[in-house]
Structure 1
Amino acid sequence: MRTIFLLTAAVAASIGGCSAVPSREPARPAGDAGRDAAVAALMRDYIGRVPGASVLVLHEGRPLLRRGYGLANLEAATAATPQTHYRLASVSKQFTSAAVLLLAEDGKLRLDDPIKRWLPSLPAACDAMTIRQLLSHTSGLIDYEEVMPHGRYDDGERQMRDADVLRVLEGQNRAYFAAGRGYHYSNSGYALLALIVEQASGRRYAEFLRERIFLPLGMHDAVAYERGVSEVAHRAYGYSFEQGRWRRTDQSPTSAVLGDGGVYASIDDLPRWDAALYDDRLLSAASRRLAFAPHTPTDQAEVEYGYGWRITGETLWHSGESIGFRNVFVRWPQRRLSVAVLSNRNEPEPYRLALKIAELYLPDAPIH
């Protein structure tokens, strides 16, 4: 579930800068028909009897493009549509962050709480780690993917869950660096945040997201998916291109971990989420400022990290990869523009594709 991103153009590192767009872009077409044709050309590899994608362009809260390409299910020949629900992978982290911030607003937890206040079984190496550091990947916590038990999850049936991440980390009395003294992208941290949400709220993590975020915003089919507990409406299944053909690779041993990547949503859900990030309908202005503030540099010179959001120039974004899925959600809040590309395939990563699509819809305001 690691997030993979590739940035190849230099950009400003401050919120007021401009975000990168690859060079040598085609001329921007005029009119809706021209833009539609240009997007279709960009999406040509997703069209036909292949794993597909759903693409959203929002401007001033209005969908300028909401369209599916290719197939959500190859075996059933089910087309990808705006209603198709994809596993968001690490794009899910923004929902985990929002859940923590809601509980902080409720007075149920404090961002500077030591994580062992809520998860006391963690080893001594975690004594100084705080919730705030988990949110910004500055805790130094060990990656659970690196220390998973060999053989236990290799049969394709058993999967790790957030509680299993805790159990694995209980045996890791070490850290990558002293808490707060570095940056290391951490799926472990967001799995533990989901458990802290459960402890502080008294609700299962998936229930908390549904009751406090998804239903209030009208994201009725969005779900933190739990096999045997919930279902995914209009579900896309993930595929990987192997030995010259597409093979279904929908689930991995870590796909059941919710806090770092377990949310399924559609491009018809994302406008409701996007709208809530501009006003107080979900989070207070103070909480939104915390989520969108650059708390730490990352291992990419152009990118800083907030709480569940990457920050590159004026953009707030996150990409997500899981076996068989590649997604990105990019926002230009100052321009009231957002672009999402959700796909059910292992490649390519869609970050630069989203930037190319964005340029088509702001012909008088270049974003590079």
Structure 2
Amino acid sequence: MKPHATLQEGVDALMRDYDGQVPGASVLVLRDGKPVVRRSYGLADLASATAASPVTNYRLASVSKQFTAASILLLAQDGRLRLDDPVRRWLPTLPDAAAAVTIRHLLTHTSGLVDYEDVMDPASQVQVHDADVLHLLETQDRTYFTPGSDYRYSNSGYALLSLIVERASGQRYARFLHDRIFQPLGMDGTVAYEAGVSEVAHRAYGYSFEQGRWQRTDQSTTSAVLGDGGIYSSIDDLARWDAALYDERLLRNESLQAAFTPATKTDDPDVQYGYGWRITGETLWHSGETIGFRNVIVRYPKQHVTVIVLTNRDDPEPYALAKQIAGLALKD
């Protein structure tokens, strides 16, 4: 008991700014598949004073990308698509400039496709969806660079991947995720959230510190795009996801290895990118930043340790915090 108690105390000290009547956080440390820290702090909803808990579902933002990549890999395993398929095989309305773009380029942020956020109508308050991203890109007969020649992080690419999942599977993207990933793994609270279609149980709402106080900033005009960031999940459900990344209950070993193998350098010399995962040495990780939420998952597969930090506030980024927690867990 003592080592875990000491680890818990260390994590509590690191998380003290999230405790109390403020937007909170949920923290999970897994060692050998077992939770050695499973703890929540602060509030999931300030208006109702609802405390955060291990079943609180936070908007994952770009942590969602690993699920989009896994969906593509599942369909590749099914023989429904190939990673080297031209994207225009599945989305033929894309302009000529996208002719050389492949699914693999989308997975690895090497497509050069224009960022949809940069061509949205800044005056519009209407939320865009994945299909709207395609319509925006249909108007852009250009790329930032020759596809495959460089790296530029691309939310556009992951929105298009969700549409490819729909075309190749014949299912709505949210339904595919439910049927092929969330339900089989027992991730019963996890959902690709669609307003008016689905609900988020135990939902955390996002906040930003503005004009001296926390204000709800839960949704933006891009929050309804699913493929690049629209999944809600909890630390308890993500523990089930993490477990499935160590065996073949979901993805075959060759698919997992492909996802976890560096495919491209990034704009950070210490970081490479696989399929939905950043890779720093032997560490696999991904952060997620969106209005009102900051999250990270950091995996140390050789040590069989994972740290997950989910927060419903706009600041700070929790990657450094997760690495500090990991340092305690790996030393413990």
TM-score bracket for the superposition, by shorter chain length: over 0.9
1:237 CA drift (Å): 0.1
How far the C-alpha of 1:36 sits from its partner, in A, is 1.8
C-alpha distance in structure 2 between counterparts of 1:145 and 1:261, whole Å: 13
Aligned partner of 1:225 in structure 2 is: 193
Q: Which residue of 2 aligns with 1:24?
A: none
| Corresponding residue to 1:249 among 197, 217, 222 | 217
Give the CA deviation at 1:40. 1.1
Q: Distance in 2 between matches of 1:150 and 1:43?
A: 36
Which of 132, 136, 146 is 2:118 aligned to?
Answer: 146
More deviation in 41-50 or 143-152? 143-152
Match of 1:61? 33
- Aligned to 2:330, the other structure's residue is in SS state coil
Residue equivalent to 2:260: 292
2:274 paired residue among 306, 310, 333: 306
**Code of the aligned partner of 2:11:** V
8 Å Cα contact 2:29/2:307 also seen in 1: yes
Residues 175-254 of structure 1: pairs in structure 2 closer than 5 A: 175-254=143-222
- Tell me, what secondary structure is at the counterpart of 2:201? coil
> Percent same amino acid among aligned pairs?
68
Q: TM-score by structure 2 length?
A: 0.99
Name the structure 1 match of 2:92.
120
Task: State the shift of 1:149 in Å.
Answer: 1.9
Letter in 2 for 1:317: W
Code of the aligned partner of 1:140: G
> Counterpart of 1:358?
326
Any stretches of 5+ residues in structure 2 without a counterpart? none
Q: Partners of 1:192 and 1:296 in 2: how far apart? A: 20
SS in 2 for 1:210: helix
Q: Which residue number in structure 1 is paired with residue 60 of structure 2?
A: 88
The one-letter amino acid of 2:91's match is: L
For structure 1, the residue ranges without an aligned partner over 5 or more in a row are 1-29
| 2:12 is aligned with 1:40 | yes
Aligned partners of 2:22 and 2:187: how far apart in 1?
27
Letter in 2 for 1:181: S
Following the alignment from structure 2 to structure 1, what is the Cα–Cα distance between the partners of residues 292 and 122?
Answer: 22
**Aligned AA (1:338):** T
Using the alignment, how far apart are the partners of 2:233 and 2:331 within structure 1?
29
Q: Give deviations 1:79-106, integer Å, cap 9, x for gaps.
A: 0000000000000000000000000000
- The letter for the 2-side match of 1:237 is Y
Contact 2:4 2:37 in 1 (8 A): no
Which has the larger displacement, 31-40 or 276-285? 31-40
- AA in 2 matched with 1:189: G
SS state at 1:63 partner: strand
1:175 and 1:35 map into 2 onto residues whose CA distance is 48
Q: Distance in 2 between matches of 1:250 and 1:305?
A: 29
1:66 aligned partner, one-letter code: R
SS at match of 1:192: helix
Q: Does 2:287 align with 1:319?
A: yes
May I ask how many residue pairs the two structures share in their alignment? 331
Q: Which amino acid aligns with 1:79?
A: A
* SS of the residue 1:318 aligns to: strand
Distance in 1 (CA, whole Å) between partners of 2:6 and 2:37 is 13
What one-letter code is carried by the residue in structure 1 that aligns with 2:288? G
Note the alpha carbon deviations across 1:178-225, whole angstroms, 9 max, x for none.
010000000000000000000000000000000000000000110000
Could you tell me which residue of structure 1 aligns to residue 317 of structure 2? Answer: 349
Q: With structure 1 as the length reference, what TM-score do the two structures score?
A: 0.89
**Mapping 1:12-27, distance limit 5 Å:** none
Structure with the higher fraction of residues in helix conformation:
2
Pairwise CA distance, 1:33? 2.5
* Larger RCO: 1 or 2 (CA < 8 Å, sep 6+): 1
- 1:363 & 1:150 partners in 2: Cα distance? 48
Aligned-residue Cα RMSD (Å) equals 0.8
Quick one: which amino acid aligns to residue 233 of structure 1? Answer: A
Q: What's the counterpart of residue 170 of structure 1?
A: 138
